[in-house]
Structure 1
Amino acid sequence: MASNAPVGKPTDMSAPHMPKVAGIDSTVPGPPHTTAPLSGVPAAAAPSEPVSPPGALIQDRLATWVSDLTTLHELTERLIRTASLDEALREVLGAGSALVGARRGMAVLEPADGLGPASTIGLGLAHAELGTIETVPCGAGHYGRLLDGLPDPVRTEQAPERIPDPIAIRDVRTEEGLDPRHREVAARLGYAASYALPLATEEAGRLGAAVWLYDEPAEPTDRQRHLIGLYGRFATEHLARLLQVERARVQVATIAEELLPSRLPRVPGVQLAARHRTGPRGGGDWYDALPLPEGALGLAVGSVSGTGPSALAAMGRLRASLRAYAVMEGEDPVAVLSDLELLLRLTEPARSATALFAYAEPAQRRIVLAGAGHAPPLVIGERRTEFVETSLSAPLGMLSCWEAPSVELSPAPGETVLLYTDGLLRRTGDAMDRAFARLHAAASSVPRADRGDPGAVADHVLRTLLPEGLDTAVDGEDVVLLAARFE
């Protein structure tokens, strides 16, 4: 089993040695590739035939060294442009396929700390074929032995864990000690050899393993192993960084969900539905619906400036304060927002927020609402789809004293009032006037069969306005929709 360490030094060079770059050893022999390299990436050059003049031999070796450096540079540049774990794993499989000369492969992400996420990505393998490979007992498979032997990230400096060597199986049919199930799966999927590489470093610990499958008996040469070993160490560090980002994103999203209502109240005369999508860095958008005395209902949406944990904490404090003010004086939305503005200005003078609060009486189908720097609600019904005309107002915390007039509306039976945050508009990537026009068009196109369900109305607007999901180019923007259908 070969190691990824460089093998030997040139002995016929009389000039001073060139400095080692990125661990490349120019003496590792170069094999021909059995698969086409990735598009746009130069393949590692095969060594030239030895020639008698020593100078020509040196030039050939230097040319091979430069070619390897160029190949690794191109591949690592492509890798660092990936922004998600699945995307990075696919890039690793493609790059490894070009480096070791295999057509198919799979990567398994399984962090040793058990905190996840765990996933399996294939190259040239269908989902069913990946499942077939996973039926091989873990300790007998290509990657199972690596995963069993990879170290946990918790180590001591006195006794660091050793990263296991890659595992090469030159011929599945003749390899000694293979589990019969392994040979059976290989015959069914049509591969004859494999090369498994641990995705682990002493710094990152165990993240997983990658395996490439050959259609015929074969194994990487020393030079190929050396190159894939260097690339694999870089890829592991990149995957470790993406893993930290993904875990942080999941934690932020979990906190945001916990700060929002776990369920919406049931109030006679109105049906409620909410949709919340957290942005990449976690913003401070929120919604709320709370029953009030005498069968009334308070509806609110808002957004706190900033992103990350601090914005989430501020959002939680603001939402809790608004609930208290709504219980005490909810029938006057202007008073509710005025109190909220005073609290924000006194306790968090460096922060601003937008908010919209509506006091609804479902039995009378009457709504009184006030907004502070917030987008106007939409009324969606059989005969109309229109924005509610609200007065222009600055966000909370922007003026020394906030106050704006409220507006009153009376939804017809079967109409849905849609409240939303600015993130829905910003996620489109359009100018605000264009985004408002697209939102109106999306609401107008709700199918007749879906208009009786506020959740279906919200889903249709999301799908139509953001057909490709959240635009990741707009960092930190959450999306919130709160739909209330009046009977």
Structure 2
Amino acid sequence: MNAPHLPKVAGIDSTVPAPAHTVAPASATPKAPAVTPRTAPGAVIQDRLAGWVSDLTTLHELTERLARTAALPDTLHELLRAGAALVGARRGLLVLEPGDGLGPDTTVGLGLGRADLGHLETVPRAAMSYGRILDGPHGGEAGIARPDLFAEDGLDPRHREVAARLGYAASYTLPLATQAAGRLGAAVWLYDEPAEPAARQRHLIGLYTRYASEHLARIVELERTRACMTTISEELLPTRLPRVAGVRLAARHRSGPRGGGDWYDALPLPDAALGLAVGSVTGSGPSAVAAMGRLRASLRAYAVMEGEDPVAVLSDLELLLRLTEPARCATALFAYCEPALRKITLAGAGHSPPLVVGERRTEFVETSLSAPLGMLACWEAPSVELSVEPGETVLLFTDGLLRRTGDPVDRAFARLHAAAASTPRAAHADPGAVADHVLRTVLPDEAAGGCLFGRSEPGQGQGRGRGRGEDHTEDVVLLAARFD
């Protein structure tokens, strides 16, 4: 009588020893029970099938968790956490270093603080397993197990010192790579005692990292696109704000993850005047960024020729947009400022009104309602004149600031007004401080991470960073002008 054949299970190599399904992933693999006259062959098969189903369930849950991550830091930490559970480790680190050299490059730890990662970076790279993988001739094609570091002959003295300081005695390292993207990095899991993953654990972590590398490659490509779009958007905006007697300027700009069409501008005009503009182009991505650049450049030209008449400037801009890009519309606000007289003449096309912030008043400028550029056959709306007091700041902003709050429009306006009204008295002297206070108050979750790019007048410095608002698609622009 022929021996029964073991059925094949999709995704699992039947040659890998299968444990009892009650055994945790971190434990050692028990030996399969011997077939005796008292043990039915069907029981052995059922036991192995139960183990394979348990492994499939575990892999499914872990890959589902990884698939839900959309930001690079979340993906890296989830990969480390899941890998540690599969190989039975408590700590680890992941070195992201794409082989094409285009970045992003970073190192994250699991159960390791910044100081611990700093100690590990002092170990010669060639002495670390991830260094051998990343710098190997083929980018590292297999994992590296080091079951007992202190028993190794020729262990680097610095590595021995750091391992003793951090309290780990063994490691298991796997490359992160895909056929299309090539090498992405390496993940290292650390054991407190001499140990190494069993054959079943190596099989499971191999399957998991194969999927995780594909997901990581997509996230890396997305991060590169975001960084590229942010750089292009920033380069299309003013590299510095002008110095004009009687007024001080500051700007804050935040690009959405897909790159949007929000912009701002400040340019000196004849007769010691100053032109201020903010606007937004519909859509997102490269086409919106390109349209934003063309629109801003055109407005600068119209402002130099007829800036004292904001209505004429926006009318010319509307005509250009309708003739050259009939499928696109935009909002814009242009203000002609005379700092010596503290007088502003402005016109808006479907744009939010400016906000005047001072010690005695905080109010929105009353402007006439107007459709965005490109929506009407002929755009025209009356201009508005405004006089400001010494020490008051005029805030020009795009609708992205309101939309990012997640509130209805009327509540978002009230929130912005309350934030401006609560500006500390000491901050009124600096337009950058006023803008930062408004942003921190209106968008506390994002500003907590320093997410907003900033530009101020020369000598005032500029800051940039990234916060937790990566899921928002809208750009944010805030241009502040304080009149002396």
Provide the TM-score with structure 2 as the length reference.
0.91
Partner deviation per Cα, 1:301-334 (whole Å, 9 max, x = no partner): 0000010110011001100110111111111101
Distance 1:199 1:379 in 2: 53
Question: In the alignment, is residue 137 of structure 1 matched against residue 124 of structure 2?
Answer: yes
Deviation (angstroms), 1:33: 11
* Per-residue Cα deviation, 1:324-368 (whole angstroms, up to 9, x for no partner): 111111111011101110110111000000000000000000000
1:159 aligns with none
Superposed CA deviations along residues 173-230 of structure 1, whole A, max 9, x for unmatched, are: 1123321221111111111111111111333211110101111110000000010011
Greater alpha carbon shift after TM alignment, 367-376 vs 50-59? 50-59
C-alpha distance in 1 between matches for 2:133 and 2:481: 54
2:152 aligns to what SS in structure 1? coil
1:168 aligns with 2:142: no
Task: Go from structure 1 to structure 2 and tell me whether the alpha carbon gap of 1:268 and 1:21 turns closer, same or farther (over 3 Å shift).
Answer: same
Other structure's SS at 2:135 match = helix
Q: Which residue of 2 aligns with 1:358?
A: 335
Cα distance in structure 1, aligned partners of 2:339 and 2:350:
26
Match of 1:403 in 2: 380
Instruction: Determine the C-alpha separation between the residues in 2 that align with 1:203 and 1:63.
Output: 35
Q: Which amino acid aligns with 1:137?
A: P
**Amino acid aligned to 2:64:** E
One-letter amino acid of the structure 2 residue matched with residue 88 of structure 1: T
1:386 and 2:363 correspond: yes
Residue of structure 2 equivalent to 1:444: 421
Give runs of aligned pairs for residues 12-31 of structure 1, distance below 5 A.
Answer: 13-14=4-5, 17-18=7-8, 20-25=9-14, 27-30=16-19
**Counterpart check, 1:341 vs 2:341:** no
Alignment of 1:308-347 (within 5 A): 308-347=285-324
2: CA distance, partners of 1:151 / 1:27: 26
Whole-angstrom distance in 2 between the partners of 1:44 and 1:467: 48
Q: How far apart are 1:401 and its partner, in Å?
A: 0.6
Moved more, 282-291 or 164-173: 164-173
Letter in 1 for 2:54: S
Contact (CA 8 Å) 2:79, 2:212: kept in 1 or not? yes
Q: How does 1:129-278 map to 2 (within 5 A)?
A: 129-149=116-136, 151=138, 163-278=140-255
Partner of 1:7: none
| TM superposition shift of 1:12 | 5.4
Secondary structure (helix, strand or coil) at the match of 2:413 reads helix
- Name which of 468, 475, 478 aligns with 1:478: 475
Aligned residue-pair number: 459
8 Å contact from structure 1 (residues 26, 62) kept in 2: no
Q: 2:432 aligns with which of 436, 452, 455?
A: 455
* Structure 2 residue aligned with 1:5: none
Q: Which amino acid aligns with 1:384?
A: R
Q: Which amino acid counterpart does residue 325 of structure 1 have in structure 2?
A: Y
Q: CA separation in 2, counterparts of 1:26 and 1:71?
A: 19
Moved more, 383-392 or 43-52: 43-52
- Deviation of 1:23 after TM superposition, in Å, equals 4.5
What does residue range 59-74 of structure 1 map to in structure 2 within 5 Å? 59-74=46-61
CA contact (8 A) 1:289 1:300 kept: yes
* Bigger shift: residues 45-54 or 60-69: 45-54
**Relative to structure 1, is the Cα distance of residues 307 and 45 closer, same or farther in structure 2, using a 3 angstrom cutoff?**
farther
Partner residue in 1 for 2:85: 98
1:155 aligns to what?
none
Give the residue type in structure 1 aligned to 2:98: P
Q: Rate the CA distance shift 1:479–1:206 in 2: closer, same or farther, 3 A.
A: same
Residues 235, 349 of structure 1: CA spacing in aligned structure 2 closer, same or farther, 3 A cutoff?
A: same
Partner of 1:451, secondary structure, is: helix
Q: 2:67 aligns with which of 80, 88, 93?
A: 80
Change (3 A) 1:279 1:263: same
Deviation at 1:84, TM superposition (A): 1.6
Q: Do the aligned partners of 2:18 and 2:52 also contact (CA within 8 Å) in 1? A: no
Per mean C-alpha deviation after superposition, the further-off stretch among 26-35 and 163-172 is 26-35
**Structure 1 gaps, min length 5:** 1-10, 38-42, 153-162
C-alpha displacement of 1:48: 7.0
CA RMSD of aligned residues (A): 2.1
Pairwise mapping of residues 428-439 of structure 1 onto structure 2 (< 5 A)? 428-439=405-416
Aligned ranges 1:108-123 → 2 under 5 Å: 108-123=95-110
Identity between Structure 1 and Structure 2 (%): 72
Secondary structure of 2:340 counterpart: helix
Contact 1:151 1:206 in 2 (8 A): no
SS at structure 1 position matched to 2:149: coil
3-state SS of the aligned residue for 1:197? strand
Offset at residue 164 of structure 1 (A): 2.0
* AA at the equivalent of 1:307: S
Taking structure 1 as the reference length, the TM-score comes to 0.90
**Inter-partner Cα distance in structure 1 for 2:301 and 2:278:** 15
Q: Deviations over 1:154-174 (max 9, x none)?
A: xxxxxxxxx521111111111
Report the secondary structure of 1:143's partner residue.
helix
After TM superposition, what 4+ stretches of structure 1 lie above 6 angstroms from structure 2? 31-37, 43-48
Equivalents in 1 of 2:154, 2:14: separation in Å?
A: 33
Alpha-carbon distance in structure 2 between the residues aligned to 1:321 and 1:328: 11
Task: Identify which range, 51-60 or 375-384, moves more after superposition.
Answer: 51-60
Q: Measure how far apart 1:68 and its partner are.
A: 0.6
Alignment partner, residue 370 of structure 1: 347
Is 1:294 equivalent to 2:271 in the alignment? yes
Structure 1 residue 46 displacement after superposition: 7.1
Asked if structure 1 preserves the Cα contact closer than 8 Å seen for 2:94 and 2:107, the reply is yes
Q: Does 1:306 align with 2:293?
A: no
2:112 is aligned to: 125
CA shift at 1:441, angstroms? 0.8
Q: Structure 2 CA distance, aligned partners of 1:276 and 1:232?
A: 38
Contact kept? 1:296, 1:360, Cα under 8 Å = yes
Structure 2 residue 441 is the aligned partner of structure 1 residue 464: yes
